[in-house]
Amino acid sequence: MKEIRKIKCVDDYTQYYGVKSQHPLVGVICFDELGEVRHSLNDYGVYGFFLHRESEVSLQHGMSSFRYEENSLICVSPEQVGGHPDDGTTVQLTGWALLFHPTLLTGTALENQIETFGFFSYMLNEALKLDAYECNIITSILRSIRHELEHREGSGLKGIVVSYISLLLNYAQRAFLRQYPSATNLKSNDLLAQFHTLLYNYYKQGLQEKLGLPTVSYCAGELSLTANYFGDVVKQATGSTAQSYIQRFIIQRARRLLLNGATTAETAYQLGFEYPQHLNRMFKKVIGASPSEYVKQLIAD
C-alpha cells in the first residue's frame, strides 16, 4: 500500500521540509528557498493553500488526478488526501504554502464561514488558475503572514494573521467563481468526494438528531455500495478505515463546539452521541486527551 503521511498539525508538514516552526497553529513555506524535495501523499488535518508559480506537476486529490499548473492555487481542508505518492523521486517546487489548524479560527467570523467556500471541494479536478496580479497579491499576503510569525509578537498577532487569511480566501473565491461559474452543479465520481459531502450534509440536515452518529453501513448504503467494498476503497485511498475517517470528521466538529464554550455533554448530544462518555472515549482515541483536557491545554497556550 502507498505511504500516506498524516498531517495532524502544521509542524508535521513544515518539519518534513526542514522549516523551523513559526507558530503552533500556522506556518508558511517558500518553496523557492528549498532544494529539491521528495514527493509525499498527505492526509491533512489542517487547512492548506499551495501557490505554484512555475512548471506543472501531476498530483492526486482524493482519488482523482489533479493538475497543478503554473500560476495556480490548490486549497485543501481537514480530512482530505492530496499530493503525489512517494516513489523515491524528487521535485523542485516553486511558490508558497500556507497551512493553519482549524483552531486558529476559533471565535472569529471565519470559523463557520470557511466551510462555505467551494474551492475546498473534492469535486474540483484542477487547481484555481490565477492571473499575474492575483499571484503577486497572494504572494504578498503569504510573505506578510510569514513576517508577522517570525518577527512580530503580542496579543494582536492572531487577529492580524486571520485578517490576512480572510483576504486570501476572498481572492481564492473570486478565482473559483470565475473558473466554476456553475459551482452548485459540481459533481464527481470520486468516492472520497461523495463520502465527505455525505458526512457534511448529514449534520447540515440534522440527521444525527434522529439517527445518531453516522455509521459506515449508513454511508455505504447511501452510496449504493456494500460496507466491505466501501471500507476497502476508503482504506486504499486514505490509509485509514472508513470508521476512522468518520470519527475524525466528528471530532473536528466537536472541537469547534467545545472551543466555543459548549460543555462536553452539550457537544455530545449535538453530534448524536447517546452518552457524553462515548464522546470522551472517541475524543481520547483521536486526539489523545479528553475534551476538558484539550480545552484546558489550548487555553493555557
Q: CB of 45 within 8 A of CB of 6? A: yes
CA 195 from chain centre, in angstroms, equals 15
pLDDT digit string, tens, across residues 43-76: 899 999 999 877 666 777 666 666 667 888 989 8
pLDDT digit string, tens, across residues 242-294: 999 999 999 989 988 898 889 999 999 999 999 999 999 999 998 888 998 88
- Residue 259 CA to residue 88 CA, distance in Å, equals 41
Q: Is 192 helix (H, G, I), strand (E, B) or coil?
A: helix
Q: CB of 79 within 8 A of CB of 252? A: yes
pLDDT digit string, tens, across residues 114-154: 888 888 876 666 788 999 999 999 999 999 999 999 988 77
- Average of per-residue pLDDT values in the chain: 87
293's grid cell: 483536557
pLDDT for position 297: 77
Task: Report strand pairing: 5-7 vs 41-44.
Answer: parallel
Share of the chain above pLDDT 70, in %: 91
With cell 484542477, the residue in question is 126
With cell 496580479, the residue in question is 133
- Residue 139 CA to residue 51 CA, distance in Å, equals 8
- Does residue 202 register a pLDDT over 70? yes
pLDDT for position 186: 54
Phi then psi for residue 46, to 5 deg, are: -135, 170
Instruction: Give the H or E element holding residue 129.
Output: strand 128-129
pLDDT for position 192: 81
pLDDT for position 187: 55
User: What count of other Cβ atoms lies within 10 Å of the Cβ of residue 123?
Assistant: 20
- Does residue 182 register a pLDDT over 80? no
Q: How does 206-215 read in b/e, with b if 16+ C-beta sit within 10 Å?
A: eebeeeebbe
Nearest alpha-carbon partner for 50 in 80, 23, 72: 72
Query: What is the pTM for the complete model shown?
Result: 0.80
